[in-house]
Amino acid sequence: MFLRVLFLSVIVIAVRTLTLPGSGDGLNFLFDFEFSSLLSSKIWLEALTQCVWSAGPGWGICIAYAVYSKRRSDVALSTAIQGLGDMSVALLAGVAVIPALFAFMSSEEALAICASGNNSLAFIALTNVFEQMPGGRLMDTLFFLALLMAAVSSIIAMYSIVYQPCADAGVGKKKTFVIMLAGTILIGVPSAWSSNFFNSQDFVVGMGMVIGAVFSSYALYRFGAEKARTKFLNNPYTGLPMGKWLNISVTLLVPVLAVMMFIWWCVLSVGWNPDWWNPFGTYSLGTLVLQLGGVGLILYISNTRISNSAGPNLFDGESFPPIQDNGFSN
């Protein structure tokens, strides 16, 4: 239901936006580009960064959701559809938002708004645009409804990263609910109260996703990329067989690009921030090392305990394990 409302709302807003006088300038800005830009390393790194920021949580979500995979699951096709769906919504959202800015303000003002950040764009600029737009109150309602649906659907998926390990460890539903509620309040309230805290967490979590990609690639390398491809992806029920290129991509290309991105962002953090060493700065390298290093140390110390809490190993490495009733699926 959430995704249906999201898609329908964005489509309606996009159609309405394209009927506005001057929206063509926004479309030109959105889709026009210079081919010479494809030779810029900065463009490619920024594009990769956007991919990680957009689908990054999928590293944890896919692992949590994998417990529901069955022998007949078409993992490759389902994953491809997820990526296509994510890009489709992003493209529709761009068509719905960018032309509206150019329709009600000058190109210089619209470009400044686009560069000001997501919060200013969503909660300040667009609300002003909808106030000036005929029928804008309806469009405003649909926009924030779509934003809410996107948030709720993402939260449901992200919470699975918490409640699945709790279920494996035998933690009851009520206690798991308390843990998730406490974690949400602990992190959410400061983010809602302070934009600096919110931006800092966005920066740190985003970089953590890049590191997570490296760990995921290493895990697949240790298990055997060829074995995973032939036994679990290219099964008799798949509609999208994966070639050997996948082995190179996940074990070599992904970690190399992830490391390059991490180094690049660290260098930028030092270059634009004179207080890069400050462990309590918003975008500083110091806060990145403090938070990610602290989490990494805690996970390293508790790794054995976490692994043992999951109970007996149901995966033999050769076939899909049975789906166990952990008490959270009913």
- Distance, in Å, from the CA atom of 179 to the CA atom of 26, rounded to the nearest integer, reads 45
- Please give the pLDDT value at position 325: 66
- Note the pLDDT of residue 294: 92
Tens digits of residue pLDDT in 67-92: 777 777 788 888 788 778 878 888 88
CA distances 209 to 59, 258, 299, 310, Å, are 8, 9, 15, 23
User: How confident is the model at residue 304, as a pLDDT?
Assistant: 84
Residue type (1 letter), 298: I
Q: Is the pTM value of this prediction over 0.85?
A: no
Residue 201's pLDDT is what? 86
Over its C-alpha atoms, the chain yields an Rg (Å, rounded) of 22
> Where does residue 100 rank: exposed (0-12), middle (13-18), buried (19+ CB within 10 A)?
buried
Residue 57, pLDDT score: 54
What is the Cα–Cα distance from 134 to 257, expressed in whole angstroms? Answer: 46
Burial class (CB in 10 A: 0-12, 13-18, 19+), 329: exposed
**End-to-end C-alpha distance for the chain, whole angstroms:** 19
C-alpha of 154 from chain center:
9
What digits encode the pLDDT tens for the residues 139-171? Answer: 989 888 888 888 887 787 778 778 777 877 778
Q: Tell me, what's the pLDDT at 179?
A: 87
DSSP 299: H
Q: How high is the pLDDT of residue 191?
A: 86
Tell which residue, 93, 124, 122, has the closest CA to residue 26: 93
Predicted local distance difference test score (pLDDT) of residue 297: 92
Distances (CA, A) of 128 to 102, 120, 125, 246, 312: 13, 11, 5, 46, 57
In the chain, which stretches have pLDDT less than 70? 1, 53, 55-65, 322-330
Tokens 């936006």 belong to which residue? 17
**What is the pLDDT at residue 56?**
55
